[in-house]
Amino acid sequence: MLVKEHNSIELLKWLGLFSMLCDHINKYLFNYSIPFLYEIGRLAMPLFGLVLAYNLARFEFTNATYLRLMKRLLAFAVIATPFFIYLGGVKYNWWPLNILFTLFTSVLVVYLLDGKRYIHSIIVFIFLGALVEFWWPAIALVVSAFLYFRKGDTSYLILIVLSTIGLCYINGNFYALLALPIFYYFQYLNIVVTRTKWLFYCIYPLQFIAFILIRIEMSKHGYIFLI
């Protein structure tokens, strides 16, 4: 396995959160005008995906645990949706669905695979993957990482890399690939951060509300938003 016990897993979540906020500040407040923040933001999805896959693999998830996690992801995804859409940057006023829907879909695919419902998992992957942010490569990254952490088969490493390259294609640069060595080497930092169960869920919709309020004030001073 890539990691047996990753003591810095919570720290990686904070790094992913920092990366996401950098990207969203640049996107929603400054029209992508601040250098390097877009590139930093490309780390968020693969880091969140790898952390999610690691946690799914290291704990013994029952059907009830899977369903509880999916309900939580789906609930906060729905709560964030109107604010996500209001800020712009989506097509047809709704597409793609925000990243919490991506993580929800990833967990659903893993849940179906874990229950040996392979046809159902493929159907979910194909159809829901077309609707969510970062599409099929993001879901494939979570699923392939889960299988690697669970089974320890190094062949899944190839799928992890290919999935991340797919993210690079979507992003238009190769910064997403940096998430792989970061995830690996952070285990040697041995920095234990207290787990915060609800914080990351709550921050996601709250950040959009904050951006909306900040944009109102910025627009009063003549700032024009292009998104």
Round to whole Å and give the CA distance between 211 and 64: 35
**Is 28 part of a structural domain of the chain?**
yes
Q: What is the pTM of this model?
A: 0.95
Round to whole Å and give the CA distance between 164 and 198: 27
**Is 2 part of a structural domain of the chain?**
no
If one counts every other C-beta atom within 10 angstroms of the C-beta of residue 127, the result is 10
- Residues 6 or more apart from 25 whose CB is under 8 A from it? 34, 37, 211
**Is 60 part of a structural domain of the chain?**
yes
pLDDT value at residue 5? 63
Of residues 132, 133, 164, 130, the one with CA closest to residue 148: 164
**Is 227 part of a structural domain of the chain?**
no
pLDDT in tens, 119-156: 999 999 999 999 999 999 999 999 999 999 999 899 99
With cut-offs at 50, 70 and 90, classify the pLDDT of residue 93: confident
**Is 52 part of a structural domain of the chain?**
yes
Q: Which residues does residue 97 pair with via DSSP β-bridges, in sequence order?
A: 132
**Is 175 part of a structural domain of the chain?**
yes
The parent domain of residue 81 ranges over 9-220
